[in-house]
Amino acid sequence: MSKTPKRILFTSHTANFQKFNRPYMRMLRGTLEAPYEDLNIGGWKVDYASANEEEIFDADNAFKVNFARSPLAFHNHIKAYKQLKKILNNNHYDLIHTHTPVGSIITRLAARKARADGTKVIYTSHGFHFYKGAPLKNWLLYFPIEKHCAKFTDLIITINHEDYERAKKSFRTKVKEINGVGVDVSKLKRSTSDKKKQEIRKKLGLSSNDFVICYTAEFTANKNHRFILNSLAPLLRRHKDIKLLFLGKGRLLEATKTLAKELSIEKQVIFPGYVEKVYDVLGACNLAISASLREGLGLGVIEAQLCGLPIIVSDNRGHREIVGNYTKNLYDPKDEDAFRKKVESAFSGEDYYIEFNEKFSLRSSLKKMRDIYLSF
């Protein structure tokens, strides 16, 4: 008699988040390919619940749930709760692995009965909204909710040490730390041939002599693109061979383009949008930056490191995790002068390179998650 396969449900408020979960979904299904095939578990049925705004891959079933990102979208939350309850009632899951703050809250509340019947629940926090220096409203809203939901969680996974220590101290459940979702070293390249580099620069409208500063981030207030433009505008006006490359998309994209025009630097700020092969573009740049106010870790920065780029990043818990003792690479994300001086010094030749740490690799993350899944 064949063994009944185990079943897992992944949830995230947005389907786009699947890009981080797919390696783990493949591992559970047993479909990881080289060079990670030795880490396959296999024998699991994998389902995914999200807003379903795009196609879900590597799943046996994909469910549409009316998740909303805003904690105040109560109508959506009630509907999502009922939809999840129905999904859980119709399918017995051995494990639920939930991601994203609001989506994970709804998921854990909806899974209380299932958990009482034997289902285990894992929540991966990609950066708590309450952290050292966070606004008081974040603490008043998110901390008590997360503390309450921890009662319905069998394991909380954090991606930085500050969150790990806080969860371990404050929440009554098991806590483990994993260094992010993992960067696929097999796909990212440490360097790009000079010919390839020039081809990419030509496509982006850049010359071979340009000093290219790259920022990979969604256009949101937290990612702080406005700060970057205001800080670097004087530098860009003095040095026409400095170019800013903003990779990504988001609701503040057009507002950022408008600001670049207002500052008279629009010819030096390039907006390629979302780039599939980001490692090729990074290999054609000279410096990577980040200005985010809040960061769970900072995948874009780690990818830039892997491509051999020096980095200058805002001082937050996620970036501190990446730079370690190299504190000269950090700056206060509210201090325009400090940021501009660091970028100018990099342009003048000061070294801000930090070698990629293997603990941030996909293989490392897969190994740790493999052990966790096998423990349930």
Burial of residue 327 (CB within 10 Å: 0-12, 13-18, 19+) is exposed
When pLDDT is cut at 50, 70 and 90, the band that residue 70 belongs to is: confident
Residue 275 predicted with pLDDT over 90: no
Residue type, 69: R
Residue type, 295: E
User: What are 16-40's pLDDT values in tens digits?
Assistant: 999 999 999 999 999 999 999 999 9
> What is the residue extent of each domain of the chain?
6-182+361-374, 194-358
Please check whether the two domains, 6-182+361-374 and 194-358, share a CATH topology: yes
Residue 191 predicted with pLDDT over 60: no
Q: What is the Cα–Cα distance from 304 to 300, expressed in whole angstroms?
A: 6
Q: What average pLDDT score do residues 218-238 get?
A: 97
When pLDDT is cut at 50, 70 and 90, the band that residue 192 belongs to is: low
Residue type, 6: K
Reduce the DSSP state of residue 98 to 3 states and report it: strand
User: What are 159-177's pLDDT values in tens digits?
Assistant: 999 999 999 999 999 999 9
Which pLDDT does position 186 carry in this prediction?
A: 85
6 pairs with which residues across the strands? 44
- The number of CA neighbours under 13 Å toward the Cβ of 79 is 12
For domain 6-182+361-374, give the fold: Rossmann fold (3.40.50)
| Domain 194-358 sits in CATH 3.50.50.60 | no
Which residue in 281, 299, 282 sits closest to 290, CA to CA? 299
Residue type, 123: Y
DSSP string computed for 129-178:
S--TT--HHHHHHHHHHHHHHGGG-SEEEESSHHHHHHHHHH-SSEEEE-
Burial of residue 283 (CB within 10 Å: 0-12, 13-18, 19+) is buried
Residue 315 predicted with pLDDT over 90: yes
Q: What average pLDDT score do residues 121-134 get?
A: 94
Q: What average pLDDT score do residues 331-343 get?
A: 97
Q: Do 12 and 125 meet the contact criterion of CB atoms below 8 Å apart?
A: no
Q: What is the Cα–Cα distance from 34 to 320, expressed in whole angstroms?
A: 32
Q: What is the Cα–Cα distance from 152 to 33, expressed in whole angstroms?
A: 34
Its pTM stands at 0.90
